Chains A and B, each alone.
Chain A
Amino acid sequence: MREHPSIDVELDPEGRLVAIRWAGQREPVEVCNRWRIEEAWWRGPIARDYFKVVGRRWLALVYLDRVSGTWHLERLYD
């Protein structure tokens, strides 16, 4: 599977996603949908929390890889 680029995110004190940083830009965002995927435990487990976020310029799909603890950008809608 293709690796999704990793990104940095900013969380508020309650752990909510407030902004993402990618390609040197910071984008404040709001979460408009989210879901959890736990998959393929019988192969290499995939556990991700997906967030569909909307910012000023972007609509993006990002996820937290719960195995590695890193954030990734899966899709970007201009």
Chain B
Amino acid sequence: MPALTYAELHCHSNFSFLDGASAPDQLVERAVELGLSGLAITDRGGLYGVVRFAAAAREAGLWPILGVELELVDAAVADPARVVVPARRPVRRGASGPADGGLPLHARHSTFGPRTGASAATLAGARPRPEEGLPARPRPARALLPGRRETVKEDLRGVGERQRGPQLVLLARDGAGYRSLCRLLSHANLAGTKRVPRVTHALLGQHTEGLVALSGGRQGEIARRLLVGDRAGAMAAAARLAELYGTGDGAATSGFFLELTHHLLPDDDWLVAETAELACGMGLPVVVTNDVRYARPEDRELYDVVTAIAHGRTLDGLADLRRPDGESYLKSAPELAAMPPGEAGLHAAHPAQPALARTWLEGIASAAELAGTCSVDLGFEQVRFPGFRVPAGETPFSHLVELCQSGARRRYHPLTPAVVRQLAHELDVIERTGLAEFFLICWDLMQFAKAQRIPAQGRGSAAGSIVAYVLGISRVEPIRHHLLFERFINEGRTTYPDVDIDFSSERREEVIQYIYRKYGPEHTGMVCNLVTYRARSAVREVGSALGFPRPLVDRVAKALETYDSVMVRRDLETDGGFAEFFRRPGEGPQAGAAALAGARGLGSVAGSAVLAAARGLVDPMGQLRHGGGKAPIPARLLAGAGAGAGTPSGSKPAVRAGGTSDDEGGPGDTPASVAWLARQGAEAVAVDPESGMPLPPERATDRLGRPGRWDPPSPSAGTIGRGGGAKDASNSSVARVEPEPRPRPRGGSTVGMSDWERWLEMCARIDGFPRHLSIHSGGMLVTAAPLIDIAPLERATMPGRVVVQFDKRDVETLKLIKLDLLGLGMLAAIDETVQLIESDCAVCLDLDRIPEEIPEVFRMLQAADTVGVFQVESRAQMQTLPKSRPSTLDDLVVEVAIIRPGPIQGNAVHPYLRRRQGLEPVAYLHPSLEPVLKDSLGVILYQEQVMRIAIEVAGFTPAESDGFRRAMGTWRSNREMEKLHLKFVDGALRQPGMSPEMAEELFRQVAAFASFGFAKSHAAAFARTAYESSFLKLFYPTQFLVGLINAQPMGFYPVEVLVNDARRHGVAVLPIDVNASAWRTTTEWVGRPGWTMAGAIGDDGSHDGDPGEPIPDGAGITARPRPVRSGACVIPSAEPRDRYAAEGAMGWGVRLGLRLVKGIGEEHREILDAELSRGPYRTLADVVDRTGLPEETLERLIRAGALDSLGRPRRELLWQLREVTGASRGRVDGRSTGRAGGGRRSAAAGRPLSLHLPATQAPLLPEISEPERIGDAYAVVGLDARRQVVELFRESLVRLGAVTNADLSGRRPGPVRIGGLVVTRQHPTTAKGTVFLAVEDETGMVNVTLWPDTWARLRGVVRRHALLLIDGDLQLEGQVVNVIARGVVPLPDAVASAGGPETPPGIRQQGYAGMRRL
């Protein structure tokens, strides 16, 4: 018998979104191992994975077949009994559906808006406003906003395969078949709801060309009918499908096959036999498939987990939705041939046993045969250009040449031979690579942006091209910056050049709409973005699926610092305090002690509860115990632990309900989680009352207070090692810190692992699985062929927006044209700044023409006074700027490129900085390197340098050099590397004076660098923007701050830092006020200060006493901030300021916008701005009525101080609020009086009659205190316009011996104490576990470093508190200030113990609301 071949034709990859458990390449790998002749990927409802699959298969030498598994919404023939399409529960409506979302609000306003306004105003005793002559009042039309989610969302959770529509598998036989698939899916997607395409038989009938259909296995219509005994129906359905897809004689010509699938399910024997008989009777061909969901048998476990996630259930609650056995893996031909229909012959109904076995074997063979006839080429290179229209008589290339020539004449005066030569060279390459149209498309885009005054600039490798420069695509002059065109395009390059264009983030949408208009919606689509599992999502969803209680899952997820699911273990082991649970039996005698120490990081009580939880949680099988029911908690132990958890500084113990102290609880703990942990904590660990540390076992006491014994858990528990002694505990706390990742081999079954181990293991396995699709931020696909023939389209969440099912990577593989239109917040900020300067100061600033090297700007950069400056504002940049001291634009290019993970890891930073400071001589490995590496002082820094070394030293051609760079970057295969290595060394040896050792060393350096390099063209483009933003920050700080605030979210720092930094530079910041603030932040005239920025400030910061112009009434501030005179606050001196800044620039202040208040969004913009222009609000009722804001938002406005200008105390306003909102909204006691259920209400339903009663008089309430005011402002806005929060504590801080940040640079190195607000916290992967905090007080910011052991010790406090009192060692290195933390306590606690003011809850609980974790 000849060897049997088989190809699997029905197989899900993980691109079926939680209905498949193996990635395409894993399936390919396994298929090759099994010797399959082909493999089809038939993902559910989409072609998301086909590009990767086809590429992986081609690489592995496997025959790829592209297909899809569809779920049909109707039956092929009439189905009155609903045996094919089962009745399902009705579609649930989304929460924001018209039933309860925006409609009531809308209706309310459209019906009785103005009338209510008048009556409410009367009610509150104010005179009615005149209505005439004012702009019409806009309606808050929440329901009509773009970006609203679709209201109907089909919820398939809890709906098993059997309850869904019947399946059908379609395979593409050829290119036409692929197009049919794309069209079919596109139509189905656009007709259906998001993620649930609507496929009907009628639609199937419209797209059959080139398609082969398989009956769909057990969930196909035919099998479903057979299983209920409807043989006639099954035959009719088969006949209909056969008619649709065509019959033939054999696998090569037939269009419809019956699938024989045997999963060892009940009745499978019978079903296979019955199907085979049906096929025989009707003369239809059969194929054997295995309806595969995962590559290997052991992957079944992960498949169950993803199924549980998909249905939102736990594994235990999944019985009805899970496949009952693990047979859905890829099987080989022999394994399938041995599959048992043989035994099925015992079934009485099918005595024709040999015939069935023969059919089964035929089915296997014909699967392979059918696979061989399917061939799709995903090459779309001929159709990639959308056909750019050029003037008559021109070709795209001749047109491009013409544009370049005129552009060059405009850009270059004079036109030097070097420019002409470079231009000719580039055009030559462009002509030969046929990319002229590509440049024309980009040029056209930039023309549009220019005409519309949309800020735009190219970045990335495109900026290295002179063609891009003269066409206005890039703003970087390539010759002056020694950029390399070959980095962008060369003839040897196989992938497509990418042009990234940054647009102002606010106006990018206009550009996108322009492209849609220009090339037509059928040729234009957004590239999708695959959202994949990362650490936190994996931990959450896998944890829930494995049955861990939600509070615990939350807690673990919050303890993660990593984004990489594979690294979860490292995170939890090193500093999550969860180490105990992940230790396998017998993994060292100190396991228990280590865990004890680990619990410390988490805090005593909660940590011990977790610890104990594990002990109580797992039964002797090492399994999770579900459902609780454990021994009662020794309440005394828990309470005792809580009381003993005071901090060493002697602050109050802070015991709270639930037995947790503030230190350990914090925002991460819900009462539920604490309660759960307590419930599980059958045996809590006792805590040392002195240190707050968990006690070692010897010192713990039992329930009766007697010295207790730490009973070692039973060895069979599998998770917990033996407890160690006290010494071990202290030792291992250090030893435990192990930032190096310890990836463990993956694969195999998780049977026998502990639950915690399994949790981690599953997280690692699910890492990178696609979870759902979202829209890519800016990738636009533009094609010549209709897009619908190239990729399936589907709806994006944004109405009217269509995305293709391919992501960025797929599009690159297919070599299609993709334009990356990115939104860059800084461009929006700069644009707004320039416009404000024009309107405020009547200065028209052309940033292209500002001088390139203003010394003042560089002085500011050298002083690291860069908060808000593009690219160089980060903590790491601020630490290096005073050392690198950039003084030219080229230096700035280096600065932008060097503070990156790559150069830091490659140890390029320190040599550069040392050479820059003259501490070590600039040295080159070989003289031939000098011209290449001169800019970067001998350090390899840019990708272009790698290429130029390859060209100029090793004698590569430019095209080869790009290949070299890429090969070095990706570390493809050893053989390829070795080849390049030899070529490189051989070439280098031809240089005079190059020794073999030097050549080897050079190769090593180049190879080490290439994997993380940065394109210089990109850095140059960014450096230009960084320079411009520095210029604006220095000379127009007010306008620049407004630009930055309005472009949020962007940059490195929260608004709080930007505002305080600006205030230190003398910018007046005015508080939010409904009667003065627009929705956006604006500038407001506050009169010129008496001091001028320059000159008038004395050395001690004093000024000449001139109070300046009076501050206008209602500004909300009584005094202007004085510029802080410190090293990190550069104020422009008189002469350049007069030259670059406008006369009136200092007379403007910043009025914070209402948008900064939480709860006020884009949807309120129109109404708030219109109402502001209609005149001031007089009363609270007036505000309520005119703005239509919900009660909680109004409360926030009051707490933010935005209603202070109504002239009433805040407490009184809060008192009134409920009453007033109730009266105008038909609410009594805060509850809606309309019909329950939120249905469509009649306009006046439930509204109390307007009785014109006066408002209730508020009782006499105490004035709000200053700490409360600031606390509220921080809680609601995240900042206070008048003061930085730390100022509040200054008096106590002085008593505690703390110094201000501004004073640090004048002190001598050594022990120091500071107090401040943590504004950013960083855990750079390059820093090996060291954590950096940016700590701000009212005088400035300082960098605080926590070494890994300090972090391990102080993690609990630092993670949960934003206001800290830090003891540490001051380090000064030139102008660089650094505090190495030794001890950290929460500032409010320390202050309270020092007799300072009681901290209001707003500040205490502020947590990290405004902080960015990086």
Contact = CB atoms under 8 A, between A and B. Distances in A.
Interface in B298-346: 300-301, 304, 315, 324-327, 342-343, 346
Contact of B346 (A16, A38, A39, A44): A16
B479 interface: no
The 8 closest A-B pairs by CB, nearest first: A36-B264, A35-B266, A36-B325, A38-B325, A38-B326, A31-B346, A43-B623, A45-B751
Nearest to B758: A42
Interface of B: 264-270, 300-301, 304, 315, 324-327, 342-343, 346-348, 546-547, 621, 623, 749-751, 755, 758
B270 A33 contact: yes
Nearest to A52: B266
A35 B268 contact: yes
6 contacts: A33-B267, A33-B347, A35-B264, A35-B266, A36-B265, A36-B325
A37 B346 contact: no
B1176 to A, nearest CB: 65
Interface string A39-64: 10111110001100000000000000
A39 B621 contact: no
Contact of B325 (A14, A31, A32, A35): A35
Contacts of B547: 42
Contacts of B270: 33
B347 A32 contact: yes
A49 B325 CA distance: 10
A34 interface: yes
A32 B755 CA distance: 39
Contact of A33 (B269, B623, B751): B269
A27 to B, nearest CB: 15
B325 A37 contact: yes
Interface centre among B546, B547, B751, B755 (most CB of A within 10 A): B751
B266 A33 contact: yes
Contacts of A43: 621, 623
Given A33-B347, A41-B304, 11 more contacts: A31-B346, A31-B347, A32-B348, A33-B270, A34-B266, A35-B324, A38-B325, A41-B749, A42-B623, A43-B621, A50-B266
A41 B751 contact: yes
Contacts of B346: 16, 30-32
Interface string A4-31: 0000000000101000000000000011
A36 B755 CA distance: 25
Contacts of A33: 266-267, 269-270, 347
Contacts of B546: 42
Interface centre among B264, B300, B327 (most CB of A within 10 A): B264
B777 to A, nearest CB: 38
Nearest to A35: B266
Contacts of A42: 301, 315, 546-547, 623, 750, 755, 758
For chain A, what secondary structure do more than half of its interface residues adopt (helix, strand, loop), or is it mixed?
strand
Given A42-B301, A43-B621, A31 B268 contact: no
A32 to B, nearest CB: 6
Nearest to B324: A37
Interface centre among A30, A38, A50 (most CB of B within 10 A): A38
B325 A44 contact: no
A16 B346 CA distance: 10
Nearest to B349: A32
A13 B758 CA distance: 40
Interface of A: 14, 16, 30-39, 41-45, 49-50
A35 B301 contact: no
B264 A44 contact: no
B343 A39 contact: no
Given A41-B750, A44-B623, A34 B269 contact: yes
B324 A38 contact: yes
A30 B315 CA distance: 35
Contacts of B268: 35
Nearest to B347: A32
Nearest to A29: B346
Nearest to B547: A42
A41 to B, nearest CB: 5
A33 B324 CA distance: 16
Contacts of B269: 33-34
Contacts of A44: 621, 623
Nearest to B315: A42
Contacts of B324: 35-39
A34 B325 CA distance: 12
Contacts of A50: 266
A61 B682 CA distance: 43
A65 B1140 CA distance: 86
A23 B546 CA distance: 41
A44 B620 CA distance: 12
A30 to B, nearest CB: 5
Contacts of B348: 30, 32
Nearest to A30: B346
Nearest to A33: B266
Given A16-B346, A36-B264, A41 B301 contact: yes
Contacts of B304: 41
Contacts of B751: 41, 45
A41 B324 CA distance: 11
Contact of B300 (A32, A35, A38): A38
Contacts of A37: 324-325
Nearest to B268: A35
A44 B315 CA distance: 13
A31 B340 CA distance: 13
A15 to B, nearest CB: 8
Contacts of A35: 264-268, 324-325
A36 B547 CA distance: 25
Given A32-B348, A35-B268, A16 B326 contact: no
A69 to B, nearest CB: 16
A36 B343 CA distance: 14
Contact of A36 (B327, B621, B758): B327
A35 B267 CA distance: 8
A36 B347 CA distance: 17
A36 to B, nearest CB: 4
A32 B266 CA distance: 10
A43 B623 CA distance: 6
Contacts of B749: 41
A43 B347 CA distance: 35
A32 B1370 CA distance: 83
Nearest to B546: A42
Nearest to B265: A35
A56 B348 CA distance: 15
B343 A16 contact: yes
A14 to B, nearest CB: 8
A55 to B, nearest CB: 13
Nearest to A15: B343
Contacts of B342: 14
Contacts of B264: 34-36, 49
B717 to A, nearest CB: 15
A14 B343 CA distance: 9
A33 B198 CA distance: 36
A62 B264 CA distance: 15
Contacts of B265: 35-36
A35 B218 CA distance: 14
A65 to B, nearest CB: 14
B813 to A, nearest CB: 37
A34 B343 contact: yes
A5 to B, nearest CB: 22
Contacts of B327: 36
Interface centre among B265, B750, B755, B758 (most CB of A within 10 A): B265
A36 B326 CA distance: 9
Contacts of B266: 33-35, 50
B309 to A, nearest CB: 14
Contacts of B758: 42
A50 B266 CA distance: 9
A39 B265 CA distance: 13
A41 B302 CA distance: 11
A16 B353 CA distance: 14
